[in-house]
Chains A and B, each alone.
Chain A
Amino acid sequence: MIRAVIIDDERLARNELKKLLQEFPEIEVIAEAANANEGIEKIDSLNPDLIFLDIQMPGKTGFDMLTELDKAPDVIFTTAYDDYALKAFEVNALDYLLKPVEPRRLADALHKLHLEENRDRESASEDEIMVNKSLLHENDQVFVKDGERCWFVKLAEIRLFESVGNYAKIYFGSNKPLILKSLNALEERLDEKVFFRANRKHIVNLRLIEKIEPYFNGGLLLELKGGEKIEVSRRQTVKFKEMMSL
């Protein structure tokens, strides 16, 4: 069963989508929200698997809402018109439905989602699924918006978080956009078995380290898969060695 929330400022549009979803018994609509703030509330309290998200909403757009979430559920965007904003995405990074929604397109979008769902389940072992809810899993995705460009990024793909004032710069692929989160807040939520605080300014993904070299004062220098060189402070080096020897 997929638990879904519909977020759209128009009551009739929500009703219409609910009616279309009646054809899909595997989708359970557990809540509705009429704007971005209500949406955030519902997502935080209900932790849905999927949201149907209208882009144009009063107050905050659907994109703005997503950037405020710690982790993004699967998202199917709904919009009345082929929005230029959607072109900011990599082609296969998301699915969107044009209103009025064609039932066959809806079926396609949900089908695609099932495939991904199954793949994720296979890769996640049982104790990982039971893991503490407030902790972010490496298969969780975050929504990142940098100017005109947007991404859904799996945490596993992020090799480095770098502190830049109140922001964190995240490194994945060839991109390094900023997100409005402090490194300390991130550290609390990230799985410490995968994400390691190398020093005051950096958190690295242990699975994406290319090389480890000794450095001054008994510290270490890590080279990441993207070529970034990160120094591990002396204090953290002890911890790092402990973790690696386990």
Chain B
Amino acid sequence: MHFLIALLIRILAGIFTTNLFRNVIRRAGWLSLPVEQSLPRLAAGILVVCLADSILRISVISWVDPSSGNIVREFSTRFFLMTVENGLYIVPWTAIYYFFHYIEKSRKQEMDTLKLEALVRELELKTIKSHINPHFIFNALNSIRALIDENPIRARTAITELSNILRSSMQTEKQETVFFEKELNIVKDYLALEHIRFEDRLQVQYEIAENTLMQPIPPMMLQTLVENAIKHGISKQVSGGTVIIVSKMNERYHQLVIRNTGRLDNSGNEDGFGLISTRNRLQLLFGGQANFNIREINGNMVEAELHIPLT
């Protein structure tokens, strides 16, 4: 038989069977299976395809050239050799097809994971920032209601202070960082309100270096830590205590320190949220460059310390 006809039959049979194979792979979804499940299926598939290809070719050849059945080799040998030969090109062909799709798939997966991570971060930042203790809001409102009769002027400023806090907690969702001065003003309003509530039981001291006022810091972070100092420190002391806020700078860091009367409670997980979210936010915003730690000093004070890298 003419060599070209044989080649043509071979090519057409190959295209036909591998195309059929591709359809089977796609219909059965073998590409989305884990590797250890898809490889045996593909191997079995390849064997079937090789055999089918041989059968197809032999039948076509014997139909085109009935005399070919009489030549030298026995049918079984011919069939076997043809199948092996098929394997020589169908195996690499399938492997290329499989790896092309495999790489594309993992690339797409990676993209999806990245997108999801970005979304989670964004959501995380939002919830962390907007976290204002509802206890505080309602206690403040209750104190203000009592003040309306007792000290109307103070009641008026108290409402302004509360408005500032609520406004800033809503606005910060849009910003990554704010000037320290702005954050400090919120904290001052907050502590002024808590002072109405705790009266003599709360003393506040500020030690603020002038040159730190224009430093960028994550919004509501200092506020969260000061809230913790009140919630876990001052409000648990029958005779009250002191909150000290220190802000200073060296050549590498902006250092913020919050000290309060109280003990560090390691037993419970109550204060977990504030601390964990502070750590997470620093990690998200500054990578490993920022630092946060909290410890007990002298057995009756708790000190939280923040190191924010200068930009």
Report if A35 contacts B (CB, 8 A): yes
Contacts of B293 in A (CB 8 A): none
Whose C-beta in chain B lies nearest to the C-beta of A11?
A: B199
Task: Say whether chain B's binding surface is mostly helix, strand, loop, or mixed.
Answer: helix
Residues of chain B in range 133-191 having any CB-CB distance to chain A below 8 Å? 134-135, 138-139, 141-143, 145-147, 149-150
Number of contacting residues on B, CB 8 A? Answer: 22
Contacts of B141 in A (CB 8 A): 99-100
Contacts of B198 in A (CB 8 A): 10
Report if B56 contacts A (CB, 8 A): no
Report if A13 contacts B (CB, 8 A): yes
Which range contains the number of A residues in contact with the other chain?
Answer: 10 to 19
| CB contact between A16 and one of B135, B142, B199, B201 (< 8 Å): that residue | B142
Report if B280 contacts A (CB, 8 A): no
Task: Please state if B238 and A58 are interface contacts (CB–CB under 8 Å).
Answer: yes
Task: Please state if B197 and A19 are interface contacts (CB–CB under 8 Å).
Answer: no
Contacts of B236 in A (CB 8 A): 58-59
Given contacts A19-B149, A58-B236, contact A99 B196 (CB under 8 A): no
Contacts of B197 in A (CB 8 A): 10, 12
Task: Please state if B199 and A81 are interface contacts (CB–CB under 8 Å).
Answer: no
Task: Please state if B142 and A58 are interface contacts (CB–CB under 8 Å).
Answer: no
CB distance from A13 to the nearest CB of B (A): 6
The docked-state distance in angstroms from the alpha carbon of A135 to that of B145 is 42
The docked-state distance in angstroms from the alpha carbon of A191 to that of B143 is 45
Contacts of B18 in A (CB 8 A): none
Task: Please state if B146 and A12 are interface contacts (CB–CB under 8 Å).
Answer: yes
The docked-state distance in angstroms from the alpha carbon of A12 to that of B240 is 16
The docked-state distance in angstroms from the alpha carbon of A10 to that of B145 is 13
Task: Please state if B138 and A98 are interface contacts (CB–CB under 8 Å).
Answer: yes
The docked-state distance in angstroms from the alpha carbon of A99 to that of B134 is 11
The docked-state distance in angstroms from the alpha carbon of A13 to that of B199 is 12
The docked-state distance in angstroms from the alpha carbon of A35 to that of B201 is 13
Mask: chain A, 1-28; 1 = CB below 8 Å from B; 0 = not: 0000000001111011001000000000
The docked-state distance in angstroms from the alpha carbon of A58 to that of B263 is 13
Residues of chain A in range 166-204 having any CB-CB distance to chain B below 8 Å? none
Task: Please state if B135 and A81 are interface contacts (CB–CB under 8 Å).
Answer: yes
Contacts of A69 in B (CB 8 A): none
Contacts of A80 in B (CB 8 A): 134-135, 138-139, 142
Contacts of B139 in A (CB 8 A): 10, 13, 80, 99
Task: Please state if B142 and A12 are interface contacts (CB–CB under 8 Å).
Answer: yes
Report if B235 contacts A (CB, 8 A): yes
Report if A56 contacts B (CB, 8 A): yes
Task: Please state if B138 and A100 are interface contacts (CB–CB under 8 Å).
Answer: yes
Report if B237 contacts A (CB, 8 A): yes
CB distance from B235 to the nearest CB of A (A): 6
Contacts of B238 in A (CB 8 A): 35, 37, 58-59
Mask: chain A, 113-142; 1 = CB below 8 Å from B; 0 = not: 000000000000000000000000000000
A-B contact pairs, 9 of them (CB 8 A): A11-B199, A13-B143, A16-B142, A58-B201, A58-B236, A58-B237, A59-B236, A59-B238, A100-B142
Of all A-B residue pairs in the complex, the 5 with the closest CB atoms, nearest first, are: A12-B146, A80-B138, A16-B146, A99-B142, A100-B142
- Give A residues with C-beta under 8 Å from B: 10-13, 15-16, 19, 35, 37, 56, 58-59, 80-81, 98-101
